[in-house]
């Protein structure tokens, strides 16, 4: 099973200059709890923006740069092969935009945090049609001093046609 996990604003923004344009501890906790113990697949730029392998997960980095290497990650140069690994191990694709754009066509589930605000940004999650995806779970996150933005966690499952 291939799953994509992302946080976006209400317009689909997922990043600005290589970083997330918000800080939302509830979403970071959701991401950690959802992905721990599972392999995660990301592009090289996403890995570099994180700055280290994420613990308690097999980290798979896809890049066309044949010279790229990093301690604690498995580097792949073929996105289809990397997606096959994720599929076999019920893993998650965690970004970035180019990887999401390709992987969404192969995904079985989407784990989406929607921050109900609008942010400036230059990177978007790919559009997806609710005619192809069924909302299977939704939970509102609490807005408080540490989590200043209203947000909702959603899981969509691909509708088999």
**Tens digits of residue pLDDT in 62-88:** 999 999 999 999 999 999 999 999 999
Q: Tally the domains of the chain.
A: 1
**Tens digits of residue pLDDT in 7-46:** 999 999 999 999 999 999 999 999 999 999 999 999 999 9
Strand pairing of 151-158 and 109-115? antiparallel
Q: What is the CATH number for 76?
A: 3.40.430.10
Question: 3-class secondary structure for the chain?
Answer: CCEEEEEEECCCEEEECCECCCCCHHHHHHHHHHHCCCCEEEEHHHHHHHCCCCCCCCEEEECCCCCCCCCCCEEECCHHHHHHHHHHCCCEEEECHHHHHHHHHHCCEEEEEEECCCCCCCEECCCCCCCCEEEEEEEEECCCCCCCCCEEEEEEEECCC
Q: Residue 140: give the domain boundaries.
A: 3-158
User: What is the reported pLDDT for 108?
Assistant: 98
**Tens digits of residue pLDDT in 98-141:** 999 999 999 999 999 999 999 999 999 999 999 999 999 999 99
């Amino acid at each position: 099973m291939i799953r994509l996990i992302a946080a976006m604003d209400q317009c689909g923004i997922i990043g600005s200059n290589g970083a997330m344009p918000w800080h939302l501890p509830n979403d970071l906790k959701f991401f950690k709890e959802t992905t721990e113990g599972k392999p995660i697949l990301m592009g090289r730029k996403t890995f570099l923006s994180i700055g280290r392998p994420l613990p308690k997960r097999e980290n798979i980095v896809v890049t066309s740069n044949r010279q790229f290497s990093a301690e604690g990650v498995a580097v792949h140069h073929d996105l289809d092969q990397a997606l096959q690994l994720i599929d076999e191990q019920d893993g998650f694709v965690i970004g970035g935009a180019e990887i999401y754009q390709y992987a969404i066509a192969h995904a079985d589930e989407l784990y989406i945090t929607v921050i109900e605000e609008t942010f400036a940004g230059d990177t978007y999650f790919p559009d997806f049609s609710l005619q192809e995806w069924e909302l299977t779970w939704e939970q509102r996150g609490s807005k408080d001093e540490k989590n200043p933005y209203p947000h909702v966690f959603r899981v969509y499952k691909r509708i088999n046609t």
